[in-house]
Amino acid sequence: MPEPSVPSEPAASVLDLAPVVPVVVVEDAADAVPLARALVAGGLPAIEVTLRTPAALDAIRAIAAEVPDAVVGAGTVISPANVADSVAAGARFLVSPGWTDALLVAMKGSGVPFLPGVSTTSEVVALLERGVSEMKFFPAEAAGGAAYLKSLAGPLPQARFCPTGGISPANAPSYLALKNVGCVGGSWMLPADAVAAKDWARVESLAREASGLV
């Protein structure tokens, strides 16, 4: 089957926005703005809002409209419809846990930077064939961790990654020390009890600690 025709990849890079990208699951859209303000105040301006809840698109809209210092993106993007809805809501980058050619075409045509997800060497090579060199490595710890990514740097030096999945303050530095890692994604700065209590001061403090990992 012939390869689909796709536009060129956007020039901007998600990997250079910040060393740590908070991965946010928003249950209540009313929490989106204060949560985002706390993350930005703590030094983490790039915020990935996952499309895992009914509130996600409203959260993206609110952050895009009311937190100008935030760079809000959409995560768990798994369909062309997700791409269209996320960009329409104001998402400035897209992240997927995996990819297909149809999803890749939609992300390339979105006009915003994106990270398609990979967990194997063959997936990395397939994306390189399609002109994509920046990827999400997911689920990072379960798929081989920092040691796996380090081993990819030799044969595939052109590929760069944002590992997500099982990232913590303890292992984030080992990922960030790798030459083929631009940033990491994680949610440890957003503990469920703090979000439930709307303890945004604690979120800000944890975000500040995360921003200082590099």
Residues noted as catalytic: 48, 136
- Sequence-distant (≥ 6) Cβ neighbours of residue 135 within 8 angstroms: 115, 116, 117, 118, 124, 127, 159, 160, 161, 162
The CA-based angle 31-34-36, given to 5 degrees, is 95
Q: Report the C-alpha gap between 27 and 176 in whole angstroms.
A: 30
Are 116 and 135 a contacting pair, CB within 8 Å?
yes
Question: With contact defined as beta carbons under 8 Å apart, do 88 and 94 qualify?
Answer: no
